[in-house]
Copies of this chain bind each other. A is one copy, B any other.
Amino acid sequence: MQYFKYEIIKTCKQSGARLGRLHTPHGVVETPCFMPVGTQATVKAMTPRDLDDAGASIILSNTYHLYMRPGHELIKSAGGLHSFMCWNKPILTDSGGFQVFSLAKMNSIKEDGVEFNSHIDGSRHFFTPEKVMEIEQALGADIAMCFDECAPYPSEYDYAKAAMDRTHRWAARCKLAHEREDQALFGIVQGSTYKDLRIESAKVLSDMDFTGYGIGGLSVGEPKEVMYEMLEEMMPHMPFAKPRYLMGVGSPDCLLEGVLRGIDMFDCVLQTRIARNGLALTSEGKRMLRNAEYERDFTPIDPACDCYACKNFTKGYIRHLVKAKEILAAQLITMHNLRFSLNLMAKIRQAIAEDRLLDLKKELEASGSLNL
């Protein structure tokens, strides 16, 4: 039985962007796609029903967090992550690589793996490629990511190269340790902001023949132009027929620019995180709903949006909820920000299908949709 298939439906004649379809054990994902982030086995403030309503076709969850709490063995005994969190569509788990380098404390990187302290209780843990494969297979997402070493920005060339080389060796170990046929394993391209390293990493990982490819170590502090340049450099060396996932991106403008450079998948906490601070993405640019200007504004967050929040509630009401620190504020703005971003991806897919993605870009820039 073939669990996974990636079809390229077409490429946009105007932009070269790709329209695809990723088949997984839990359903089909139309690409380019945006994955809402459910760090602790929940997309914050959303029920699975809310996620369905927003149009999510795949979500991401974080291996590091789930390993720490409640533990991958517990999730496995609950029947896996889909069953545990009651989400029956596709899930992708990251590898924890980014988290053990950014979130955990006192890392010690060795060839075998990384030793680190839990950000919750300080307890000592050791992640190896084999251990991470064990965890991700226990979680049972549709797509697992290889354990990688994510170099911070900026990194010296030698450090970046060493981290990349180790990431390649770890990728080989992940591939060897990974056994679940109903779970796809994606490699992760590293190389910091060095063109030659990015190209080398793309080539090395291509030869390893993963089901798909993550692009890691970008959107970690470097200017957007640098990220775009890296994508342009490496893309000719990425396998055409496999899904390409730009990790941790992004904002509306980055989503569009990523697609224009051949990216098929994205994830980002931005949409849900800013919602909990009262910030909404709209077709006319961002709106800080806490602001006094919305006090008596009895129109929706975004009149162009069809989400539950926009169909039923006003900016004035939501501002009140934000000011009063009510949970419903987070619920409504998160619903909207996710719907906005998932709808943006739907528009992008439609524009690719109609060979007019560059036209769409102009329209979105003119309306302010890409502003954040």
Chain A positions near chain B (C-beta within 8 angstroms) = 40-42, 44-49, 69-70, 74, 77-79, 84-86, 295-296, 298, 308, 312-314, 316-317, 319-321, 323-324, 326-328, 330-332
Contact = CB atoms under 8 A, between A and B. Distances in A.
Contacts of A330: 327
Given A317-B85, A317-B86, A74 B296 contact: yes
A316 B78 contact: yes
Given A42-B326, A69-B324, A327-B330, 16 more contacts: A40-B320, A40-B324, A41-B317, A44-B327, A44-B328, A45-B327, A45-B331, A46-B328, A47-B308, A47-B328, A47-B331, A47-B332, A49-B308, A78-B317, A85-B317, A327-B331
A77 B74 CA distance: 52
Q: Which of A79, A312, A326 has the most CB of B within 10 A?
A: A326
Contacts of A312: 48, 86
5 contacts: A40-B321, A40-B326, A70-B323, A79-B298, A327-B330
Contacts of A69: 320, 323-324
Given A69-B324, A312-B48, A323-B70, A77 B42 contact: no
B77 A296 contact: yes
Contacts of A326: 40, 42, 44
B313 A86 contact: yes
A40 B49 CA distance: 25
A268 B63 CA distance: 40
B320 A70 contact: yes
Contacts of A49: 308
A348 B208 CA distance: 66
A171 B313 CA distance: 35
